[in-house]
Amino acid sequence: MSTEVNPLHRPDWFNRDLFFTAVMQSISFATPLIEVFTIRAIVDSQSIVPGMPYPEDIRIFIADEASHARAHVALNQELLLKYASPPQGYQGFKKRMQFLNHALSGAQRVRIAADMERWTALWSAWYLSQHDQLSIASISAKKLYAWHAQAEVSHAHVLIALAAQEPLPSAWRHWLFLSAYRLSILMYFSRSVTWFVYYDNQKSILKSARCLLKTAYKVTRSMETYRLLISCLRTSEH
């Protein structure tokens, strides 16, 4: 009988860093929910009409998003062999996404999804610039994240262009739901990442606090982080 340990069951399989392993695992659990939200928004959107300028691009975009969701579901199944349940914050995030699906029109959801796609493409471009230097214990996970990031960079313009065709809803309503969407994601990641860090530190509050403080110190000292933040802010203005 094989005694080989699944690389994904190492607490620091991503770049030998427990905190960023928690971040990448949180991304994987969130991805299927976000991809389904995006696909449903496009399908329900009034902008998909006969004669639209790039139907093939949209078809490929939807197929890509569905493929990403399935791939991350498979990765999550491997992670669940270790953790037994999704991270804290996951069920609440799922319910909030379902609420937005029912509360907003397809056009409103397309605009919100496009905002997320813009940020995702920016993060993906940065990730790809670092990918060759990263030490990732799981070969399958390394391939998955690189493939997903490449797709996000290459097809983000499709959803952004689609959103631009939609009439802008009430400004305050759009701002309200966009803020709710961003807050929902922030709430999920803050709880999920913290939970993974706590679990992989033998559920020690002291060890978890040290890990979080150490990471915060490293991040705030990194000039690359500041350059990335400035790029994000500039991108969000356009």
Residue 4 resides in a domain: no
Q: Which domain holds residue 213?
A: 13-236
CB atoms within 10 A of CB 5: 10
- The phi-psi region of residue 89 (left if phi > 0; otherwise alpha if psi is between -120 and 50; otherwise beta) is left
Instruction: Identify the pLDDT of residue 51.
Output: 52
Positions in the chain whose pLDDT score sits under 50: 1-3, 233, 236-238
Instruction: Identify the pLDDT of residue 232.
Output: 54
Question: Which CATH number goes with the domain that contains 229?
Answer: 1.20.910
Residue 7 resides in a domain: no
The model's pLDDT over 36-84, given as tens digits with 9 standing for 90+, comes to 999 998 888 755 555 555 677 888 889 999 999 999 999 999 999 999 9
Residue 88 resides in a domain: yes
Residue 196 resides in a domain: yes
Residue 162 resides in a domain: yes
Residue 2 resides in a domain: no
Q: Count of alpha carbons within 13 Å of 168, Cβ hemisphere only?
A: 7
Task: Domain count for the chain, please give it.
Answer: 1
